[in-house]
Amino acid sequence: MAKEKNQPKNNNEVSYEAKDIYVLEGLEPVRKRPGMYIGSTGVDGLHHLIWEVVDNSLDEAMAGFCTEIEVALLPQNRVSVKDNGRGIPVDIHKQTKKSALETVMCTLHAGGKFGGESYKVSGGLHGVGVSVVNALSSWMRAEVCRDGMLWAQEYKKGKPQFSVKKIGKCDARGTTVIFEPDPEVFKEIKYNWDAILTHLRQQAYLTKGVKINIRDLRETNVKLEEFCTTCQVKTKSKKINGVDDLKKPAGNGERSYSFYFEGGVVSYVKFLVDDREEPVKHQNIFYVNREVENIQVETAFQYTEDIQGYEISFANNIHTGEGGMHITGFRSALTRGLNDYARKNGYIKESEENLGGDDVREGLIAVVSVKLKEPQFEGQTKAKLGNPEARTAVDTAVAYALEEYLEKNPNDAREILGGCILASKARQAAKAARETVLRKGIMEGLALPGKLADCSSRNPENSELYIVEGDSAGGSAKQGRNREFQAILPLRGKILNVEKARLDRALTSKEIKALIIALGTAIADDFNIEKLRYHRVIIMTDADVDGAHIRTLLLTLFFRYFKEIIEKGHLYIAQPPLYRVSRGKEAHYAYNEADKDSIINDFKKAKKEKIKIKIKSYGKEIKLDDEELPEEEEEKKHGFGIQRYKGLGEMNPQQLWETTMDPKNRVMKQVKIDDANAADKMFNILMGDEVFPRKRFIQTHAKNVKNLDI
């Protein structure tokens, strides 16, 4: 309601007039709220800058105008992305009255993807990609080679430093963008080489006929001029856009990769299967590449002997980590197609129930890629595809091709369905076992496991569960805890390795059943994160080999069957101290070797200062050097003691509380999943049935192990 003119004004009232309305112009909104455009200003957002620039080059490749792309990491946090596409237009834009290059680089929602026929499909969603990179860069340079001429423009924090210039001639075509992320936006600028390789390898698989070169020159003394020939007004080179035209940088430290795949997603499936090192169930990879209602669908899959499956999806080459309509369509067609074939050929009897979605995805390695004119993503980071027509297109294409594939490859069909039917029987057995576990809890009045020492709080946000190794440590933890909010669940021995066992067998384990009931979430199809009884679930094991093994088994269990607990940030690992270093009545706890050495050095300094040990030689003062003394002699000489904790049970309840359970003093690590595929692969290597991958992993990393406790 508008305030009357003669109404008295409250002196404490905050001004809200026309002058208080702020209009952010140009790229200012991006700098004001960068997270809205790139997801975050952390490591993911930093790499998102590279993806946005590379996406423009890939759009040229998908349109059929680009065959080679180069990404180079340069000194001083700079990144160069070069392609041999058509080159961004440089003529004057009718609407902005500026060069089209400047319009694209400095204006949100500007590009060739909003109409016309410049791009049939593209990865860009809002046309904000390269302009957002420009806004969040302290420095950027764009070079365009087209129509026989070389053009350039430079920017600082999104603002052009001069008009687009014609600075030379060139006999090629393409675009080069070099940028330097702004340290005012990104507090830590550190590129992950492996993440860049993984992302660009994916793009090469998804874009047939394009070669992607990646060079890491951060540790070399390469000069910017070797990449940015327009950094000076006068250029020495006439040909600047050919990917092989770059001078070899002076100095060493360069590493590089090149990716080029003719097989497309079939090659990608082969790579994923080989990378997991699991035996395959069938030899012929399913593949379909078909256009349905102007949507290009390309999908491939193969089954392995692994219990776990893996699906990865893309829309216009953008990785949709949260899936979407295209994955829904694929799953629907796969489940329906296998059931139809199984019933038609007598694999499933009339009295038996259909195969479920989980049954047909056990051991499945699949890549689903769609290309469509106007993709609808959820958020600028494009994690999930929302186009309903994508579901219909994928369902139609896969259903048609799957029927043909099964008929032409009966041996493959038999192997696939044999695995699916086995998974179905295991699921039904697991369901019965799961219901038994839950029914037992109901029959006992929802009684919690007898070994669980529960907390008095019934508020999950304030409650925490310590999963403790053994009765001895459990006893200390129960006595030392704060009963108001800390619950203790001791586990006896090592739990079942669920990486090698299906759920029905896992549910025969008393320890696993006790944990399921204690958590309150149930498991598998019945899992409900809202029923989690503790918002901090803490794994607390001994700091030795057995403790590490038990911790790994528990992490495997949580990753396979309680992944959402990890994703929601509820799983932690306690860090008990390794040493107790004492001198007289003074004692300190050390959580690693560095802590221990620091405490010992402090004791040494205090001792030396107290008794003033001095040795004079030739009129100079020399301090006593104990470096070569055995540890036992050092302890005697300086009067301190070192106790190495082999197990939690060695600490009395008060010590365990002070060091590992007191929120004021304790050290805990939160378990996170940064890359689900990498985590899945690692669990498969370390905990799976195949011995050779595990042996090779140990041989590869053995030299990096420090303080091996045998």
544 is catalytic: yes
User: Which member of 226, 469, 499, 511 is catalytic?
Assistant: 469
Q: And the tokens for 201?
A: 């390898």
Picking from 55, 561, 690, the residue whose alpha carbon sits closest to that of residue 317 is 55
Residues 6+ apart with CB under 8 A from 604: 626, 638
DSSP state letter for 14? P
Q: Can you name the residues that pair with 68 across neighbouring β-strands?
A: 211
**What DSSP line would sit under 179-236, residue for residue?**
EEE-TTT-S-----HHHHHHHHHHHHHHSTT-EEEEEE-TTS---GGGT-TTSSSS-S
689 is catalytic: no
Residues 6+ apart with CB under 8 A from 420: 338, 342, 355, 359, 360, 362
Residues 6+ apart with CB under 8 A from 468: 474, 477, 488, 489, 490, 491, 540, 541, 648
Picking from 380, 388, 365, 535, the residue whose alpha carbon sits closest to that of residue 455 is 535
244 is catalytic: no
Give the C-alpha separation, 395 to 373, whole Å: 18
Report helix, strand or coil for 38. helix
Picking from 260, 337, 261, 269, the residue whose alpha carbon sits closest to that of residue 302 is 269
526 is catalytic: no
Put the strands of the sheet holding 586-590 in their side by side order: 586-590, 579-583, 641-644
Give the C-alpha separation, 592 to 366, whole Å: 43
Written in H, E and C, the secondary structure of 526-560 is HCCHHHCCCCEEEEECCCCHHHHHHHHHHHHHHHH
User: Which member of 306, 359, 499, 542 is catalytic?
Assistant: 542
Tokens 């590279």 found at: 50
In 304-390, where do the E strands start and end? Answer: 310-315, 318-319, 364-371
Give the C-alpha separation, 80 to 59, whole Å: 17
Q: How far is CA 46 from CA 179, 187, 678, in A?
A: 12, 10, 20
Cα maximum dimension of the chain: 102
Report helix, strand or coil for 45. helix
Picking from 153, 207, 179, the residue whose alpha carbon sits closest to that of residue 73 is 179
Q: Are 366 and 299 in contact (CB under 8 A)?
A: yes
User: Which member of 225, 504, 526, 544 is catalytic?
Assistant: 544
User: Which member of 322, 504, 546, 567 is catalytic?
Assistant: 546
Distance between terminal CA atoms of the chain? 76
Q: Which residues are catalytic?
A: 469, 542, 544, 546
